[in-house]
Amino acid sequence: MTNIQLERSLEQNLQAYLKDFNIPNNATDLYAIASWIVTFQQKQNIISIAPQEIESLIQTVLDNFKVDNILSSVTDEATEKFVRELDQWRHSLETQTLDTILALKQILPHQVLDLEKTVLAIIPLIEDIQLRKVEVASLIKWISIFDLNAVLQKVVGTDAVAIAQKVANLLQFGDLETQLLQGVLGGQPLLNSTLATVTLTLIQQELAKIIGNDNLQFNITLDEQQMMVKQVSFKFNLMQASPPPTKTIQDINNQLDAEIARFKLARQTNP
């Protein structure tokens, strides 16, 4: 696709998603939805775009996005199908992550879990796709509305329990992961790293080097090594926080405030 086609595709999907589901309350959430759309397009092999071009694509679309066009927009069948599948995928990922956290708390009842670190450890074991930081932040925000202790008795599936057990097993290798992160980064802070992309091969090589050190003893299985490589790769390639839109946040929020009221009224009038 050309840049114009990519922009038009994102705009149409964004309009359809907001029309079918919800208009967010702020510019950050709007940016996150646009980012989820691009990621799902990549997952479905609908588009191919370099990671460094994604920010520019989303920025361009949001700079020109008119919320008041949502109600009058016409959604074709393919776009309608896409946004519904995207919403189902997002909710599935959210539910699987939450269930895995609950299972992990049951396995390790006395362990105090850091929500952000736990989510970062779980996602790459659930979904074989690289999310962006704004998407992970929105997922964490969704999970944080739950009182985890209150829902701890929820019955979770066997898949969630199995993933939680893998995460629990890997927690004992925290020192190894720290050394792996430091080895690949060469002392740079993770989120300020100048490394554009850290490949699985590079991480695997660094892990093999650490494990092969005669002065260190890590009783870690091959499967656990592979899972750690996936987790570390996910963290390394997690994009830095998205910059604010070139429109001011207040401008977008003012626009959203007015349109949310119109949108809700229109839905009440024409359910």
Specify if 150 maps to a domain.
no
Task: Tell me the H-state helices in the chain.
Answer: 3-20, 27-43, 51-63, 77-107, 115-126, 133-144, 158-171, 174-185, 200-211, 222-237, 249-269
Same domain, 227 and 255: no
Same domain, 211 and 178: yes
Specify if 138 maps to a domain.
no
Same domain, 225 and 258: no
Same domain, 262 and 232: no
Same domain, 193 and 224: yes
Residue among 74, 92, 77, 78 at smallest CA distance from 36: 92
Which residues form the domain of 64? 1-75+247-271
Same domain, 219 and 252: no
Query: Phi/psi of residue 148, each to 5°?
Result: -60, -35
Specify if 37 maps to a domain.
yes
Same domain, 256 and 227: no
- Tens of pLDDT, residues 96-141: 999 999 999 999 988 888 999 999 999 999 998 889 988 999 999 9
Mean of pLDDT values over 178-197: 63
Banded model confidence at residue 189, pLDDT cuts 50, 70, 90:
very low
Same domain, 214 and 260: no
Amino acid at 55: E
Specify if 132 maps to a domain.
no
Environment class of 213 (CB within 10 Å of its CB; exposed 0-12, middle 13-18, buried 19+): exposed
Same domain, 203 and 270: no
- Tens of pLDDT, residues 64-79: 887 777 777 788 999 9
Specify if 103 maps to a domain.
no
Measured distance CA(167)–CA(121) in Å, rounded: 7
Specify if 117 maps to a domain.
no
Specify if 218 maps to a domain.
yes
- Tens of pLDDT, residues 29-63: 888 999 999 999 999 999 988 887 888 899 889 88
Same domain, 49 and 7: yes
Measured distance CA(147)–CA(237) in Å, rounded: 30
Same domain, 255 and 191: no
Residue among 242, 52, 234 at smallest CA distance from 130: 234
Measured distance CA(182)–CA(34) in Å, rounded: 33
Specify if 201 maps to a domain.
yes
pTM above 0.85, yes or no: no
Tell me the two tokens of residue 83: 């946004």
Banded model confidence at residue 174, pLDDT cuts 50, 70, 90:
confident
Which pLDDT score, from 0 to 100, does residue 195 have?
A: 47
Same domain, 231 and 266: no
3-state DSSP of 157-170: CHHHHHHHHHHHHH
Domain count, the chain: 2
